[in-house]
Amino acid sequence: MSLRIGIVGTGRTIGVASDHLHGIQANPGWILSAVYDIVPDNAKQWIQQHNLASALICSSLEELLDKVDAVVICTDNLSHGTIAREAFKRKLPVLCEKPLSVDYHESKKLAEEAAAVGVVNYMGMQYRYHPYAQLIKEIISSGELGDIFSYRHKLGGGRIGNPNVGMEWRMKKETSGAGAVADFGIHQVDLIHFFLHETCGEITSVQAELATFIQARQSEGASAAPVTNDDIAVVIARLENGAMITLNNSRLLPQDGDGIEIVGTKAAISMDQHGRLFLRKKNADGSWSGEREELEIEERHKFLGLARGKQYKEFYEAVKNNQPHELSFAYAAQAARVIDAAVLSSQEGRRVSISEIE
Ligand SMILES: NC(=O)c1ccc[n+]([C@@H]2O[C@H](COP(=O)([O-])OP(=O)(O)OC[C@H]3O[C@@H](n4cnc5c(N)ncnc54)[C@H](O)[C@@H]3O)[C@@H](O)[C@H]2O)c1
């Protein structure tokens, strides 16, 4: 059964909608039937860039909603809620980009509304479908690492590390919510849950420092305007079993140092900036082995159309069977709760329990 899907927000800065197109095209069950962007030129350019028919372009959100069986939201974080609510009025399933909204409060409200309407709501948190994440999950589930006590993840991008990149919606608290800590942190919190919740439990508390190093950006046709959210964040978190987490998020650094390290009582797995994975085991006497083994990504770790392809396969199955998916708005709201705890921790200079965030 083919289902019609429409994309709202074709893109201007990163243009994540293009990734979604690849995911849709990897799944014959979906047919891209409509696109809408509040800036008509963005939609026109996007259609040309991807050699698609200009007839797909709608001149309003309502027109798009009339033409589809499901909606994808790829706009700035603030507008996710308004668009999702319009879709819910028509009982249309929604795939929304992360973060769900600008903070936990708004995300929770949206999650509750989605649950009340009873349509499939699904989040664009695709990192767990990357081959490296599948391999790491497999190693952790096999018990090869032993009891995990340390987890470190640095994630970021360098595009806006150039201070000459002008003001974007993501640099303003009102349209983005928190900055780097949410942008990358939502993915990190999702991966921590995916990898560790069965063995180590959930995140119980956080301690964070957020900072803004590029404090003003040029606005179109205006003088420089202030950046009102963080561009670098460091978060320390604890899991239920006491495991120590350190997260580093940045919009400014080169990606050379990106990577993950997960350490247990028997072995450690790490991923370097090139995406190469290594396993280092402990010797019988408890010391670390001098050798590390490079792990191979196998076919079983790869999905058709890679992470976005798998995302659209999961979304299709959920919609076709009208069944909720784990990557729901409610799940995203819980991730937003951890991010809000990090923001509060940085503001108040203290450790914050996740249960404090209501
Ligand atoms: N999952 C990921 O890895 C990932 C990566 C990048 C961005 N994102 C998320 O995707 C979303 C979009 O980010 P982006 O960088 O692609 O943004 P972008 O700036 O490239 O594009 C946003 C587009 O939305 C349009 N738009 C804004 N409000 C609208 C409205 N009310 N109706 C219709 N169109 C509207 C804009 O004109 C623009 O073309 C954000 O929520 C962001 O956090 C996720």
Dump pLDDT digits (tens) for 63-112. Answer: 999 999 999 999 999 999 999 999 999 999 999 999 999 999 999 999 99
pLDDT, position 273: 84
Give percent helix, percent strand, percent coil of the chain, each to the nearest 5.
Answer: 40, 25, 35
What average pLDDT does the segment 162-185 reach? 97
Q: Residue 221 above 80 pLDDT?
A: no
Atom of ligand 1 nearest to the CA of 75: 24
Banded pLDDT at 222 (limits 50, 70, 90):
confident
pLDDT in tens, 3-23: 999 999 999 999 999 999 999
pLDDT at 351 over 80: yes
Ligand 1 within 6 A of CB of 97:
yes
Would the CB of 81 count as within 6 Å of ligand 1? no
Q: What is the pLDDT of residue 257?
A: 74
- Rounded mean pLDDT, 26-45: 98
Task: Please report the pLDDT score of residue 258 as a whole number.
Answer: 72
For the chain, the farthest-separated pair of C-alpha atoms sits apart, in whole angstroms, at: 69
Structural domains of the chain, ranges and CATH numbers in brackets = 3-126+306-327 (3.40.50.720), 128-301+337-348 (3.30.360.10)
pLDDT for 234: 98
Binned at pLDDT 50, 70 and 90, residue 254 comes out as confident
Q: E strands along the chain, which residues?
A: 3-8, 30-36, 70-73, 94-97, 121-124, 148-156, 203-211, 216-218, 224-226, 232-239, 244-250, 259-264, 267-271, 277-281, 293-295, 352-353
When the pLDDT of each residue in the chain is averaged and rounded to a whole number, the result is 97
Across the range 266-282, mean pLDDT stands at 95
pTM greater than 0.95: yes
pLDDT confidence band for 256 (50 / 70 / 90): confident
Q: Which of 37, 38, 45, 76 to mutate to test the pocket of ligand 1 (most atoms within 8 A of CB)?
A: 76
